[in-house]
Amino acid sequence: MQYIQVTFTFQNIEAYQQDLLISDLADIGFNTFEDTAKGFSAFIEGDQFQESALKNLLTDAIGDTLEYSYEVAEIAGQNWNEEWEKNFEPLIISDQCYVRATFHAPRPEYPFEIVIDPKMAFGTGHHQTTTMMMEYILTMDLEGKKVLDMGCGTGILAFLAAKKGATALTAIDYDQVCYESTVENAALNNIDGIEIICGGKEVIPDTAFDVILANINRNILLDQIDRYSAVLKAGGSIVYSGFYESPDLEMIKTASAAVGIEYQDHKKINDWVAARFIKK
């Protein structure tokens, strides 16, 4: 599969400004981001890229407030996988979960280990949103629970839920690369009892979940909250991430409350937020 890499160079940009721009880029289809010495690179599937949409976004989001330039290049998926292998470092979450690639040594001293083969797919645990989602999962009683991982990326959240005792899992992502990555990584982690589906909210099974994990972005969450409520058991938990504290969290709270899902608490790393809710 062919990808488009857009490399942004800034004269001076604050971390929060970069995070906001990345969030906006995710809204128009960019799904992977990599820091560079003077900015960052953003990646999108070739058939989804529209430079006119990118220019409009940059005009609205940045205007004349920052001095920047960008370059567009085509990149083969396999080349990106090689770059992942060069840069992927193991990660430890809450001193309990060790996330590594196949080319790293195991660390049996940690109670949970997840193996993720680097692919052109979001969700290795390194991004703040994934880290916070995993921190929440590590505090939850998931023994025998039915869990939906929506926007599963590499499948990492579903895999941790399985290792915490969840026995029926559904992992969904609209991106074909993410779907294939989750299938491969499920085998690497010996995950049983998982249904992996390629699609959006329309493919969510008509069943009752105990827990929903949704690490996507604000706009997609707002569009899908009604469907989450329809398949979440009364008393069930939902953890959202992929958005910012302001103004996004209040928007998520309002939309959730309208369908009987009540805010409980949230975590924050830099400006990124993960928030826990319970269905009444």
All structural domains of the chain: 2-83 (3.30.70.270), 88-279 (3.40.50.150)
Give whichever of 126-130, 133-137, 151-155 has the largest mean pLDDT.
133-137
Dihedral Cα 261, 262, 267, 271, nearest 10 deg: 70
pLDDT of 133:
97
Whole-prediction pTM value? Answer: 0.78
State yes or no: cis peptide before 247, omega within 30 of 0: yes
CA distance 73 to 49: 11
Q: Are 10 and 66 a contacting pair, CB within 8 Å?
A: yes
Q: Nearest Cα to 246, choosing from 266, 230, 264, 232?
A: 266
What average pLDDT does the chain have? 90
User: How do residues 164-223 score in pLDDT, each as one tens digit?
Assistant: 999 999 999 988 888 998 999 999 999 989 999 999 999 999 999 999 999 988 889 999
Kindly give the pairing relationship between strand 168-173 and strand 146-150. Answer: parallel
CA distance 70 to 32: 16
